[in-house]
Structures are given as structure tokens and as C-alpha cells.
Structure 1
Amino acid sequence: MLRPVRALSVAAVSALLTLTTFFAASSAGAAGANYVALGDSYSAGVGAGSYLSDSGSCKRSTNAYAYLWKNANAPSSFSFVACSGARTGDVLNNQLSALNSGTTLVSLTIGGNDAGFSSTMQTCVLSSDSDCLNAVSAAESYAENTLPGQLDQVYSAIRSKAPNAHVVVLGYPHLYQINGSCLFGIGDTKRAAINEAADTLDTVIAKRVANAGFTFGDVRGIFAGHEICGSSSTWLHSTTWPVDESYHPNADGQAYGYLPVFSQS
């Protein structure tokens, strides 16, 4: 019986060495990356605090997943140009200059503002169930019919500017846990509709990402239980002051939600 045990031990050691080599190579690859972080407020880190003084109204945070990844991996270069309120046109016109043929890693979230995320949330918080459902329906229609072409333009431009880059496009989480622990705020009819809108948006983004040959990072699973009204610690703000941080990930949402999904994508 000793021989099989000894053989298994050798195999285990060999596998361990292989894994060690793999992770070391991955770490070295990260250290040599030329990383550009594009996108909207979810990538800028709005809601996570600790904003960089030179980012102005873009509100880029040192707690954003991109910045946390940079701190952990020490890439060769890091350009952080994500900006609060950005739409697809803003990425095309104001952010793509950060890319070049030497860029090896790109991350972004984009599309939520194009589909009217902010105004839809305002309607759902301040108006009736029917007004909320109508606003969500309009946002979903935009996401399904207009947004695909806009995303295609962004992804094509990224590929053209950074042909050698690994591009990770991250999605948006559900904002609410249905039948959750909240005693106040909007009801479950509105909460469910808002979550369904996130599903529609993520489905559209994931399809366009796949067509572009990029990687989609789905954050809905990792945020489960940590939504507003969630059963665990909440990773998303509800209504806040300043108001622009409402319905955005907090520092924990960036560190424990977005960062792991990006790192594994």
C-alpha cells in the first residue's frame, strides 16, 4: 500500500508546484500590466468615499475596485479615467485617449446612465407604483433597442485603440433584496421592477460583450444578500446625501463585490 500512497504524494506535490507556478505567473503578469480603468460612477467609485482631489466632479475613489486592484498588483502603468455620470458617448469622446497599443488590461462599467438609471430611480422613489413601472419599462426598451448599438461602438473603439488588451466589462447588481428587512422606503413592487431592469441591462451588456470577444463580469451573484434591505451587511447605499451617491456601491461593495469579480475575470 506504500507505493500508491507515495505515488499520490508525488502527484500532489507536482500539482501543487504547477499551481504555484501558475499563480506566480499570474502575479507577474499583473505586475507587468498596463491597466486603464474606464467607465461610469460604478467604476469611478462614487459612494465609496476617499475621492481623489484631482478627479473633481468625476469623484474617482481610492476605494474603487480599479484602484484597489492597482494597489494589490502594482501594474507597470495605471490610468484611472472613469467618471461619475459617464455615458457611452463620454467614454468615446473623453476617455479612450488613455488607451494605446501597449495597453494590456481594461475595465469598465457603462450603459446604466444611457438607459436612464438616475431618472428612473428618482421616479420610483418619488412617484407611484404605476409611474415607476412605466419608467422602468421605458428604460428596458431603451436598453434592448438603442443601447446595443451604442455599446458596440464603445467596444469596437476600445479594441481598435487597445488591440492587445484583456477587456473586462462589469455589470450592475440588483439594488434590492425582495422581502428584505427594510421597514421603510419603496415597496416590493417597485423593488422587483428595478431589479428586473438591472437584469435586462446586464443581459444586453453581456451579449454585446460576448460579441466583442471581451469578458463579462456578472456581480449579481456576489452581491446577493448584500443589497439594500439585504440580510447581510449592505454593500449599496439607499437614498443618501449627497444625492449622487444614492444607489451606488459603498466601500465594501467595491472591495468585496466588484474587486473579486474583476480579479477573477
Structure 2
Amino acid sequence: MSTRSLGATLATLILGAATALGLARPASAAGHDYVALGDSYSSGVGAGSYTSESGDCKRSANAYPQLWRNANSPSSFRFVACSGATTTSVAGTQLGALSSSTTLVSVTAGGNDVGFADVMQTCVLRSEATCVSRVNTAVSQMRDSLPGKLDSLYAGIRSRSPQARVVVLGYPRFYKLSGSCVAGLTETERGALNNASDVLNGVLAKRAADAGFAFSSVVDEFTGHELCSGDAWLHSVTVPVANSYHPKAVGQSSGYLPAFRSAA
């Protein structure tokens, strides 16, 4: 046998063994049937260029699910994430997009279950003590009632798409502490909000792991790009108000997209 033939034979054997062990590179993403579920962090509120068909759900052409689809050309793509969604509304109105042939799912959910919008409004408009109290109420909900809601949602996803790889994405920390901001929330309020994000991400990671799903944090991607960093990928309080505390287009493309891609 020639050296070239021997090399080809060894390469074939190695590839075959790697495939049998699940070590070979997966088939092209073109083979995926991808469904994007979730709330405003998946729909792309704050990133602009909303599709006309999405209405108040505000699905953006700049959102990470659409960007992943553009780059990978999956076999099918259903983008049903919606602004304001809770775990209950995702379960009730979005899971119909899933099927037994779905192979990839992304989801963000949980922030609205603990009153994300009300927390931020309270902190912007009320006193420091009121803000911290409202944040603490949300943290209690994260620990007490949210885990069961997540378990129910994740069970619904798995029931409809038993073979799919499911990626649960977290939420960024909002503030760089001791950063460049000279007005707005106090440092105590910023720290309380960051702690709440950490607690929420911890709950999401634990429930995802227990469901057999992947969890991908976005905290690393957004580090150095929080509010008060001087290069924020998040909107501060702004007009339209709905954009406040949501990722800009760059936050979707440079924050959420890499986090999803690393786990998909």
C-alpha cells in the first residue's frame, strides 16, 4: 500500500471512530430546524428594524436568532419570541412552533415573571430605599416561585421537541460599578440590580441543567459594555421607553449571538 493510500485509510478510520464516539464536527447547521422562543431579549427590543408581521412582539432583524439564521441557513426557522413574554405566555402562545422534528431551540424567559419592567421603573422614579425593596421582592420571587414556572415551561419544550438541543440564555448585568456615570441611579441601586441579575441567572442555569438543557450566560460578553462603562451595549433610560435596559443592535450581534453560537 502506498504512503498516500495508507494515509487516506487512516484518515477514514479516524473519522469513522470519531463519528461513532460523537466527537466529529456536527453536520452543517443547514440541517437544523431552529425555533427561537422567548421574551424581548430574544425578540430584539432595542435593536431596531422590527419586522412588520411581528407587531407588538417587536421581532428585530438585528436580533440574535435572525442573525444566527442568516449566518447558518438552517433547514427551517421559526422566530416567535415576543416582547413582554413570561414563562406562562411562552408556554401558551409560542410552543406551537415546536415539533418532533425541531433540532435546535433558543429561549429567554423569567425576567417578566418577576416584574422586570416594574423593578426598573421603581428604581428610576422612586427613592433608593424603595428601589432596593422592590429589587429584593423580585429576588424572593426568583428563588421561590420562578423555579416551578421554569420547570413547567422547560417540560413543555422537551415534550414537544424531545430530540432538540435547547439553549437557555441568561440576562446581562446592567451596570459597571464605580463606572463613568455621574447621574441617575445610586451605586447602591446599581449594585442591587446587578445582584438580582446574578440571582436570576443562577436560577436559570440550575433549572436548565436539571431539564437537560444548555445554559449560556451573556455576562462575560457584556462585561466592559454595561451601562456606565463608556461603551454600553445596553440602552439606558431612553425614548421609546420600551428600549430602556435592553440590548442595542451591537448587544445582540456581539453579546447574545456569540453566547448562543457557543452553545448551539
TM-score between the two structures when normalised by the length of structure 2:
0.90
Q: What is the CA distance between 1:29 and its match in structure 2?
A: 3.1
Partner of 1:140: 139
Q: Does 1:37 align with 2:6?
A: no
The secondary structure found in structure 2 opposite 1:216 is strand
Q: Does 1:113 align with 2:112?
A: yes
Q: Aligned partners of 1:222, 1:23: CA distance in 2, in Å?
A: 27
Q: Aligned partners of 2:145, 2:224: CA distance in 1, in Å?
A: 32
Partner of 2:227: 228
| CA RMSD, 1 decimal | 1.8
Partner of 1:241: 239
Q: What is the CA distance between 1:184 and its match in structure 2?
A: 1.8
Return the letter of the residue paired with 2:262. Answer: Q
Q: Aligned partners of 1:186, 1:91: CA distance in 2, in Å?
A: 32
Deviations 1:125-153 (A, max 9, x none): 11111001100000000000000000000
Partner of 1:193: 192
Q: Aligned partners of 2:244, 2:233: CA distance in 1, in Å?
A: 12
Instruction: Find 1:261's aligned residue among 254, 259, 262.
Output: 259
Q: Aligned partners of 1:167, 1:133: CA distance in 2, in Å?
A: 34
Identity %: 57
Partner of 2:210: 211
Return the letter of the residue paired with 1:77. Answer: S
Q: Aligned partners of 1:85, 1:23: CA distance in 2, in Å?
A: 39
Q: Aligned partners of 2:196, 2:45: CA distance in 1, in Å?
A: 21
Q: What is the CA distance between 1:25 and its match in structure 2?
A: 4.2
Return the letter of the residue paired with 2:78. Answer: S
Q: What is the CA distance between 1:23 and its match in structure 2?
A: 11
Return the letter of the residue paired with 2:254. Answer: Y
Partner of 1:163: 162
Partner of 2:4: none
Return the letter of the residue paired with 2:220. Answer: G
Q: Aligned partners of 1:25, 1:178: CA distance in 2, in Å?
A: 41
The secondary structure found in structure 2 opposite 1:238 is coil
Q: What is the CA distance between 1:221 and its match in structure 2?
A: 1.2
Q: What is the CA distance between 1:185 and its match in structure 2?
A: 1.2
Deviations 1:92-123 (A, max 9, x none): 11000000000000001000000111100100
Deviations 1:167-218 (A, max 9, x none): 0000000001001111221111110000000011111111000000000001
Count of residue correspondences: 247
Q: Aligned partners of 2:35, 2:96: CA distance in 1, in Å?
A: 10
Q: What is the CA distance between 1:158 and its match in structure 2?
A: 0.2
Return the letter of the residue paired with 1:130. Answer: A
The secondary structure found in structure 2 opposite 1:264 is helix
Q: Aligned partners of 2:243, 2:24: CA distance in 1, in Å?
A: 38
1:40-119 aligned within 5 A: 40-119=39-118
Return the letter of the residue paired with 1:52. Answer: T
Q: Aligned partners of 1:170, 1:108: CA distance in 2, in Å?
A: 6
- Distance verdict in 2 for CA 1:74–1:24, change over 3 Å: farther
Q: Aligned partners of 2:51, 2:25: CA distance in 1, in Å?
A: 32
The secondary structure found in structure 1 opposite 2:114 is coil
Please list every run of 5 or more consecutive structure 2 residues that lacks an aligned counterpart in the other structure: 1-6
Q: Aligned partners of 2:33, 2:40: CA distance in 1, in Å?
A: 22
